[in-house]
Every structure is written in C-alpha cells, then in structure tokens.
Structure 1
Amino acid sequence: MGSQVLWFLVLLTLTTICKSKSCHPNDLKGLQDFKAGIRSDISGRLSKWKNQDCCKWEGISCNEAGRVASIILPGLYTSDGAPVQSTMVGELSPSITLIDFLEVIDIGELGGLTGKIPTSIGLHLPHLRKLNFLGNQFTGALPESICKLSKLEEMYLQENVFSGFVPSCIGGVKNLRRVDVHSNKLSGVIPESITRLTNLESLCLQDNFLTGIIPENIGNLQELKELDLSKNSLTGIIPRSIVKLNSISILYLNANQLEGEIPPSKPGQLSSLSFIRLQNNRLNGIIPSSIGYLTSLQRLSLANNQLKGSIPSSLGNLKSLTELYLSNNQLSGQLPRSIGGLSELLLLSISHNMIEGPLPGEISSLSNLQSLDLSFNNLNMSTIPKWLMQLPSLSRIYLAGCEIQGEIPEYIAKSLLELDLSANHLSGRIPAWIGSLSRLYSLNLSKNKLVSEIPSTFTNLEILGALDLHSNKLEGSVDAVLQMKSKFVGGSLTYLDLSDNSFSSGVEQIGVGGQEHIQHLNLSHNFLKGRFPTSIETFKSLETLDLSHNGLGSYLPISLANVTALEKLMLHKNQFTGRIPEEFLKLKKLKELNLSDNLLEGKIPYGKPFLDFPQSSFSRNRGLCGKPLPPCKS
C-alpha cells in the first residue's frame, strides 16, 4: 500500500512538471531584470512574478508560440471591477529589448519610472506596435533606432523629461497612427519627413521647446484628426497646405510665435474642424470671411494676436459654435448683426479691441449665452442695456472700461457668478442688494468713483472668492469684508484688494474673520491706523500682503513669521517701531520685501531671505543697521 502511494506522488510530481511551462530564456531574463529595476510597486503586481511560467504573470501575455508579446502594467488599471491608481518607482532595465517578440509595452502613468529608451530598441523589437511610457520620468533623447520599428502604430511618450530632437527619420515609420510626445523638453525643428506619415491620425508635440517652422507639406497628412503643436517657439507662417487636412477635427497652434495671415479656405475644406486654437501668436491681417465655411466649428480662439479689420458677418454661419475668443487684437467696426444667429453660443469674449457701439440688438436672442466679455472697446455704452441683463443664461458679465456712468443699476441683480464693472465712471454707493447675489464668486468694481462704506450685507456673500474694490472713494471700516465667513469646507475668499481708498479702521479684524484662505491681501494707500494684528498667523495661505502707505504703528508682530507661504510683504510708509523680529528669517519663500519709511531700529536679522534684498527695502527708518545697510556701531 505504501509503495502505491509513493508511486502516485511521483507520478503527480512528474505530471506537474510536465504541465509547467518555462519562459524563453530571453523573455525570462528581460522580465526578471525589469522587475529587479523596480524599487517600489504599491500595486503588488510584480511580487506575483515567481514561477518560470511568465505567460501567466499578471500584466504579461504571450503569443501562440509561447513568446512574451505584451507587457501591460499601466498606472491606472481595473482590479475586481474597480479602478485603481498605482505607482512604480525605479529604473527601466535595457534588458527589455531581449524580449524580441514584444508587440506592446504599456507602462504609462506609473509616475516614478526613470531611465532612457534603449538606443537599440528598433534593432531588437521588430514586432513592436505600441509603446506607452506616458506620465513617468524618463530622460534622454529619442533614439534614431525608433525609425526602424516598421510595425509601430502608437507611441505615447508624453509627460516625461525627454530631450533632444524628434528623429529626422521618423517619416520612415509608415504605420504610425498616433504620436504623442507632449510636455517634455524636446528642442530643434519638426522634421519635414513627418509629412510622409500618411496614416497618421494624431500628432501631439505641444509644450516642448520646438523651434523653426511648421512643415510646409503638413497638408499631406490626409488621415490626421488631431494636430497639437501649441506651447512651443515655432515661427514663420501657418502653411497654406493646412486647409487640405480634410479629416482634421482639432487644430491647436496656440502659444507660439507664428506670423502672417490666417490661410483662407474654400467650401468643403476643413469640413470636420471642430476646435481651433490660434491664440497667443503674432498673426496679422484680417479674419478671413471664409471662416464661415467651417460649419462644424464649436470653439474658435484667435485671442492675443494682431488681427485687424472688422469681424466678418460670415461668423453667423457657425451654428454649432459654443465659444468665441477674439480678445486682445486690433479689431474694429461694429459687432455684426449675424452674431445673433449663433444659437448655441455659450461664451463670447472680444475684450481689448476697438469695437464700436452700439451693440446689435440681435445679441438678445443668444438665449444660451453664459459669459460675455466686452471690456475695453470703444463701445461708449453710458449705461448697461436692460435687454442685455434679460439674457436668461447670462451669469458672467465683464464690462470693464465701457464708459458706463451713474449708479450701479438694480436691474442687473440676477443670478450672477462673476461681475466686472471696473474702470468705468460709476458713482454713488455700492448697493446693499449686491449682498443678495448668493452665487457671486468674483466681483470687480475697481477704478470707479464709488463712495461711502462697504455694505454690511457683504457678509452674506458666502462663496465670494475674489473681491476688487481698489481705486475708489470708499471709507469707513474694512471689517464688513474681513468678517466674511464661508459655510463651505475649504474656505472662500482668496483675493482681496481694497487699496487706494479712504478706509480708516477695521485692520484689527485681519485674521479673526474666518478668511484664513486669503492668498492676496492689499489694503495699501488708505488711512488705516492702529497695531498690526497678531492674529495674522491664521492666514496660512497668504502669499501677498500689502499694508503700505497707511498710519499703522507699534511693533511688528512675531506671529507674522508663522505665515510661511508669504512671497511678497509690503509694509513701507507706516509708523512701525522697534526691531525686526529675528523670527522673520523663517519666511523662506519671501521674494519681495519693503520695510522702508518707518521708525524701525536695531540690527537687521542676518541670513536669508533678508540677504537677498537691497538697501531700499530697509532705508529711511529710525535706526536700522547691518547688512545690507551699514554695520551696527558697537
């Protein structure tokens, strides 16, 4: 009986051994070296790579011949039906090129992988179809041998630290459909050979340091649906062949140094184009009337260029348009009446041009319009049209510099999110009803002639994030604002500018009004008196503090040293006395400092950041000494 059991166990062991498959030695070596290079894997997937049958390892799949065909270990994956975000930290082993039947390498979004693409990758991985390294910390140049990956269809290398040039031979990878190398440190020119990739559907090279021109024959890429070359330093003109991209849906050339005119198109060209970004360039000439042929357009941005002439009436043909950005150009004439036909329009921005009034009444038919920016044109509006305020969806209104006069009219009291009436000629009081705008997040009434006090109803603005009332004739106390409290977790007010007014009290409320999330606070050029409040230390997020040109006195509070986020501190032209606290050396992020024209005395604290500031930061005090001023007398 015992011998039968023994033979059974031997047979079971042999059967198990026979059923167990071993990796090809090259595959096993490549995967083991890959695992050895990883110092941390919080997903635990690599810890399961134990036996010799690598085809059953998590993230690994093999072809019919038993050779490893794919390594799929993305940072974002699904486990037990739920999405999981994981990271790996370590270096990519060059032994990965030993796995010579690889078709897919997907190790994207792991966050902590470093190293370089092996220079011989194109010589040893002839079957590679997809290469995904996105969202890591890979460095070095893109090797020329990539051009020998004749079967490569998709290459995702974005959000790493790759440098050097785009290989000039890239045009030889005929099967390439998607190339994404955005957000790296690539330099040099876009090689002309890229225009030979006739299967290319997506080319994303944005946010690099590319120079030179856009290849003239870019129009050869007839399958191209997405072209993003934004945020580089490209020069020259937009090639005229670009209008031949009949499959293009997304065209982003913004934030370069492109010049010349916008190429006109013909009927039927660019018929699929939905999104155009050409802003932040040096384009000149006119907006071509042929823009009206692009009937699939949903978003059009031509802002921050040097475009002239009138806005073409053909824009009214763009029935799918939802966003139109034309600000910061030299456009003139009146808004075309056809703009009223843009029934899907959500956002219209034409600020900082030379557009003339009156506004066409057809705007009143834009029932979906949510945001309107007409600031700084030649509209000479005098008053805010009542019909404009009756647009049912309008919640963001920017009418700065429109020559509006008189008091703020009550008929604008609607469900607003943002309101900018700055740089006008508004007079009278700030109306109390503004405190009833419960959804208001941003309010700018600066550079007007508003008088009296801030209404106490401002304490009701519980989600107000930005308030700018500078350069008016307001007076009284600032505590109506400093006592505002948010009922929402995370705080509310982050930007507050009450400078250049006649406020005289309320400074003692700094730090005790529940606005500890303020990042920028400017109360300069007022008549504030009293002590600097020690409760300032509760403003942990404060980056800019300007109390200059007031009548504040007494000692500088040591508690200010606890506001370690401070980058700019302006306390000049006051009456502060005593020493500069040694604890101020904890303000390591400070980039700007001015304590001049006070009554301070004693030795200036020695060390950074104070050693970085000039004499003018401390001059004209009672008795300060030490660097950068003359040494103290013993």
Structure 2
Amino acid sequence: MGSKILCFIAILTVLTNVESKRSFGEKCHPNDLKGLTSFKKGIRYDTSGRVKKWIGYSCCKWAGITCNNFTGRVTEINLPGFITSDDGSPLQTSISGFLSHSITLLSALEIIDLSGLTGLTGKIPPSIGFHHLPRLRKLSLWGNNLTGPLPESIGKLSKLEEMYLFENSFSGSIPENLGNLKGLKKLDLHSNSFSGAIPKSIANLKNLEILSLQNNFLTREIPANIGDLQALKELDLSNNSLSGKIPSSINTLKAVSIIYLNNNQLIGEIPQLLKPGQMSALSFLRLDDNKLTGKIPDTFGQLTSLQRFSLANNELEGSIPSSVGNLTSLTEMYLNGNKISSQIPSSISRLSNLLMLRVSNNMIEGPLPHEMALLTNLQTLDLSFNGLDLSTIPNWLVKLPSLSKVYLAGCKIQGQITEDSLATPSPLQELDLSANQLTGKLPEWIGSLTGLYSLNLSKNGLYGKIPSSITNLVSLGMLDLHSNKFSGSLQQVFQIQSRYTSGSLTFLDLSDNNFTSGIEQIGAGIQQEIQYINLSHNLVKGKLPDSIGRLESMKSLDLSFNNLNSSLPPSFANASALEILKLQKNQFSGKIPEGFLELRKLKELDLSDNFLRGKIPFGKPLINFPKESFSGNKGLCGIPLDPCTT
C-alpha cells in the first residue's frame, strides 16, 4: 500500500512540473518581462518588425528568448545579427540603457548574444549592472559600433566562460581585473582600439583556451608569465605595437596549437626550446614583421606538429638549420626578408607535404640542393634576390609536377628563354624572371602556357616583337615587360583580351622599351577590367583613339615620353575611375576637353610639354593641380596658369 502511495506522489510531482513548465511558457517572470520590455523601448529603428512581435506576457515564446523549463526565468537573449530589415537597415539602439537598467531585472541570464547588430551603439557605462548577473556564462557583443573603455565592473562576472567583444571601437586599457574571471575559457577582443599594456593578471586565467587581442594598439612587453596559461590553445597578439623580447615562458605552453605574434616590434632572439616535447601541439606559428635577430634555433626541428610558420621580414641571420627536415607535417615556410645566408640544407627534401617555400630577399648561396627535386607537392617556390647565381633554371625545378608559381627574380639567370627551361608538366600560373640577364626574343611557344595569370620578365635584355601567340594567354591578369628592348607594335598585347569576352588583364607595364605603333588598338577590344597601363618611355607614334573611353575600370594611365600627336579624345570623360593620368612629353594638340571635369577621382595629372592650347576648363578636379601639370604648353591659359587674354 505504501509503495502505491509513493508512486502516486511521484506521478503527481511530474505532472505538477509539466503543468508548471506549461504555465511558465504562457507567462514569464515579471522582472524579466519588465527588462525585455525596457530593451524593446530602447530600439529606435526596427524596420523588420520582429521586435514589434514581442507582445503579451509569454516572453519565453519570443524570438531569440530562452527560459529555464522549471524556474521560468529568462536564461538567454540570443539575437546575433537578428534584427535587420529586408533592405539591410540594422537595429539601432544604445547598449548603455540595456546594460544599466534592463539587465538588472534579468538576473537569471546565462547567455547574452547581441553580436553583429551594426546599429547597436554607445558605451558600456561604468555603473554597469554586471553584479546582477551571477550566472552569466557567455557575453557576445562582437561586430557592433560600441565605443569607450571597458569598465572595471566587468571583472565581477565570476561565472563567465566566454567573452566576445571583437570588431567594435572599444578604447582605453584592458582592465586589470579581468584576471578575476577564473572560469574564463575564451577571450576575444580583437579589432578594437585598446591601448596600453596587456595586463599581467591575464596569467591568472588558468582555464583560458583562446586569447585573441590582435588588431589593437597594445604596447610594452608580452607578460613574462604568459607561460602560466597551460590550457591555452590559441594565442593571437598580432598587429599591435608590442615591444621587448618574446618571453621564454611561451615555450612551456604545452597545449598551444596557434601562436601569432606577427606585425609587432618584438626584438631579440627566438627562444630556444629547453626540453624535447615542448610545444608539441604547435601547428601554426607567425613571428613575421618584427625586429627579431640572431639565428633560427637548432631546436626548431622539435616542433614536429608544425604545419605553417613564418619568420619573414625580420633581421635573422645564419643558416637554415638542418633540423627543419624533421618538420614532416610542414606545408608552408616563409623566411623571406631576412639576412639568412649559407645554402638551403638538403634535409629540406624530407618535407614531402611542403606546398609553399618563400626564402626571397636573403643572402642564400648556391647551388640549390638536387634533393629539392623530391618536393613533388611543392606549388610555390620563391628564391628571388639571393646570392644563388643560377645561370640557368635547373632542369629538376621545372619538372616538379605540382609547381605553378615560380619566382626567380634577381638570380642572375642568363641567355635565352628556351622551351626546355619552362617545359613544366603542370601549367604555370605565375612566373617571375625579372631583374636577370635574359636575352633574345620572346619565343612563340610562350602562348602555350595558357594557364598563366602573371608574367614578369621586366629588367632584362629581351628584344624583338611580341609574338602573336601571346593572345592565347586568356587567363593573363598581369603582364610586366618593362625595361627591355622590345620593339614593333603594341597590337598583339591589346588583342590579348579583345579576342575573348572573359579576359582578365588588369595590369600592363610595357614602359622603357622601343615600341613604335599600335596605340590605336587601346580600348578597341573588351579590356574593361584593366586598371593599370604604363606605356611610358617608348617611341609610340599615332593618334589616341576614342576607344580609350571604354576603359571604365582604368585607375592609372601613363603614356608619357612618347611621340603621340593627336588631340585629346573627349571620350576620356568616360574613364571615370581614373586616379592617375600622365601624358607629358608628347605632341598632343588642341584643347583640353570639357569632359576632363568628369574625372572626379583624379589625384595626379601631368599634361606638360605638349602643344595644347586654349583655356583650361574651369572646375574640379583641374583647379586642384599645380602649374607644373600644365606647363610647357605655350598656347594654354587659365587657372592655374596665367589668365587668358582673349
């Protein structure tokens, strides 16, 4: 009999809880209702009408609101990027009213997510009611327009595990008492305007797994006790103004897989690993763009989980340690822009997963180790501007089956470009052989490299005409042949895109050559995507055609120091994206077209030393340029030159 009574009581309890749950869904706690209603009143614009649907007393059923099943209290306000209109107009409200009043009523909140609301503005007030949120685990306000400093009271969120305040305009220093948030696991303040030092108390956050402070204005040294964050998996302090040395304690971060300290002002040597197995989980390391000195540590090869690392643009010297051959998981290595010398170690051949190797602008000597032929997955190789003295392109290099981007500028490669030297199994996408000692003509077979996007053969001794096959390079986006001895017509180059509606050429530099004709083809084809053209310092004759107005995307045009002898086409007005226009030292005649006043983006103009005449059209942008932009045209008058007399 007793057991039946107990069973009945248990059933009754369950039914009571279910009924309680149902009643809470119908009517929420009075304080929560007041808090949410207050938040709603603070919204100035909500053209989507979604918040307008927050009506009645059943706030637990409102969009973005979650309640506890048994207490009925609101535990989540979850509106990430939620309140926007159909035309993209954002919610507009002030954060200060919500945090200083509404939040004091919503005392059971565990999650606040108001991220990505570009209309959420204002400052977090010093009197913020964070002490009313004893259960808050997650605070996400990223991607808004919040300003001002973080108040010290934020350190009272004792249960906080995640805080995302990135991509706002917060300023001032990072509060020292963030170190009180002992349960914090994720702290992301990146892309704000925080300044001052990283607080030393940050090392108190023993549970911290992610620390992202990049893209701020932080200064002074990285806290020496950073190694106390033994749970840390991701550390990003990049793009600040941090100074001093990298603390040696950083090597004790046993769980860390990502360290980004790049783009700071760090000095000194890279800390040596003291014990085998230290930082065994490190996969991604960036120390580039600092002022680091000394050698790459021999112990670098102990970081066997490393997949990508960059030490570029420092002042490192010495040789590449042979221990890098132990980094068998490595896919990308950046050592460019240092003072590294000696030869590339043959052990590099063990990096069978290597996709990208950049060691340009160093003092590395030749010869290249033949073992590099084993790097069959290598896609990008940049050896430019070292002391390699290659003489020729190594046969094994061009036979690498995956190689698509080759940069060998300034490697003292001599002689002609032969088919054997570029007969790669996979189509090249980018090729840079600039600043070498190449001679001879550009071969007809160059048109067979149909996957080529970028070709740079500038600063060599190449001569002759551009082969007609160059029009086959339908993917070409960048062509740089400046400072050679090419001659003949420009026609073939302008026809690269005129034959194909999907042409992609955006950059063209043929300056400092001996071209004489073909200017009439400019703009005659598709060519709408081209943004930069430099044909200066040639011998080009002829008239500038009206078709030049079709280049509506062109930002920079330099035709200076040629023999062009036409009037300036009125169609120039259609090239409305122009920012730089250089036509000096030609034989242009006639008046400056009124349409030049339509070139509102023009920042640099030079029409000097021609035969232009008449009154300079009055208005912006022409009145913004100095006399030097128009000098040397004897028949020209008007502002900024002397007034016209007739």
TM range (shorter): over 0.9
Structure 2 equivalent of residue 323 of structure 1: 332
Alignment equivalent of 1:127, drawn from 115, 122, 135 = 135
- 1:98-148: CA deviations, max 9, x gaps? 322221111222344322334304233332211112222222222221111
Alignment equivalent of 2:398, drawn from 369, 389, 396 = 389
Alignment equivalent of 1:194, drawn from 202, 210, 213 = 202
AA aligned opposite 2:605: L
Structure 1 equivalent of residue 111 of structure 2: 104
Instruction: Check whether the contact 1:97–1:118 (CA below 8 A) recurs between aligned residues.
Output: no
Structure 1 equivalent of residue 277 of structure 2: 268
Instruction: Check whether the contact 1:121–1:146 (CA below 8 A) recurs between aligned residues.
Output: no
2:37 is aligned with 1:32: yes
TM-score normalised by L of structure 1: 0.92
Alignment equivalent of 1:622, drawn from 612, 631, 634 = 634
| Mapped partners of 1:46, 1:175: distance in 2 | 33
What's the secondary structure of 2:155's corresponding residue? helix
Alignment equivalent of 1:413, drawn from 378, 400, 423 = 423
Structure 2 equivalent of residue 399 of structure 1: 408
Alignment equivalent of 2:563, drawn from 538, 541, 551 = 551
Alignment equivalent of 2:542, drawn from 512, 519, 530 = 530
Q: How does 1:82-93 map to 2 (within 5 A)?
A: 88-93=90-95
Change (3 A) 1:625 1:186: farther
Alignment equivalent of 1:214, drawn from 218, 222, 235 = 222
Instruction: Check whether the contact 2:268–2:294 (CA below 8 A) recurs between aligned residues.
Output: yes
| Mapped partners of 1:148, 1:346: distance in 2 | 48
Alignment equivalent of 1:300, drawn from 290, 299, 309 = 309
- 1:163-197: CA deviations, max 9, x gaps? 22211221111111111111122222211111211
Structure 2 equivalent of residue 575 of structure 1: 587
Instruction: Check whether the contact 1:34–1:92 (CA below 8 A) recurs between aligned residues.
Output: no
Structure 1 equivalent of residue 10 of structure 2: none
Structure 2 equivalent of residue 9 of structure 1: none
Shift of 1:452: 0.9
Instruction: Check whether the contact 1:529–1:550 (CA below 8 A) recurs between aligned residues.
Output: yes
Higher mean C-alpha displacement, 219-228 vs 607-616: 607-616
Structure 2 equivalent of residue 474 of structure 1: 486
| Mapped partners of 1:607, 1:562: distance in 2 | 17
Shift of 1:41: 5.1
Change (3 A) 1:621 1:409: same
Instruction: Check whether the contact 1:196–1:220 (CA below 8 A) recurs between aligned residues.
Output: yes
- Measured on the aligned residues, the alpha-carbon RMSD in Å equals 2.2
**Hey, which bits of structure 1, 4+ residues long, moved more than 6 A?**
17-20, 84-87, 486-490
| Mapped partners of 1:19, 1:597: distance in 2 | 84
Shift of 1:45: 3.7
Structure 1 equivalent of residue 576 of structure 2: 564
Shift of 1:491: 4.3
Shift of 1:42: 6.9
2:58 is aligned with 1:53: yes
| Mapped partners of 1:602, 1:578: distance in 2 | 8
Shift of 1:282: 0.9
Structure 1 equivalent of residue 169 of structure 2: 161
Change (3 A) 1:334 1:136: same
What's the secondary structure of 1:387's corresponding residue? helix
Instruction: Check whether the contact 2:500–2:526 (CA below 8 A) recurs between aligned residues.
Output: no
Higher mean C-alpha displacement, 46-55 vs 364-373: 46-55
| Mapped partners of 1:486, 1:67: distance in 2 | 68
Structure 2 gap ranges (5+): 1-21
Instruction: Check whether the contact 1:138–1:162 (CA below 8 A) recurs between aligned residues.
Output: yes
Change (3 A) 1:76 1:341: farther
Structure 1 gap ranges (5+): 1-16, 78-83
Alignment equivalent of 1:597, drawn from 609, 614, 624 = 609
What's the secondary structure of 1:485's corresponding residue? helix
Alignment equivalent of 1:140, drawn from 123, 148, 152 = 148
2:377 is aligned with 1:377: no
| Mapped partners of 2:451, 2:113: distance in 1 | 45
Shift of 1:496: 0.9
| Mapped partners of 1:374, 1:88: distance in 2 | 49
TM-score normalised by L of structure 2: 0.91
| Mapped partners of 2:194, 2:215: distance in 1 | 9
Change (3 A) 1:20 1:282: closer
Alignment equivalent of 1:71, drawn from 74, 77, 89 = 77
| Mapped partners of 1:71, 1:118: distance in 2 | 20
Higher mean C-alpha displacement, 228-237 vs 606-615: 606-615
| Mapped partners of 1:101, 1:38: distance in 2 | 22
Count residues in correspondence. 612
| Mapped partners of 2:501, 2:25: distance in 1 | 57
Higher mean C-alpha displacement, 539-548 vs 358-367: 539-548
Higher mean C-alpha displacement, 528-537 vs 55-64: 528-537
| Mapped partners of 2:63, 2:405: distance in 1 | 51
Change (3 A) 1:284 1:142: same
Change (3 A) 1:538 1:76: farther
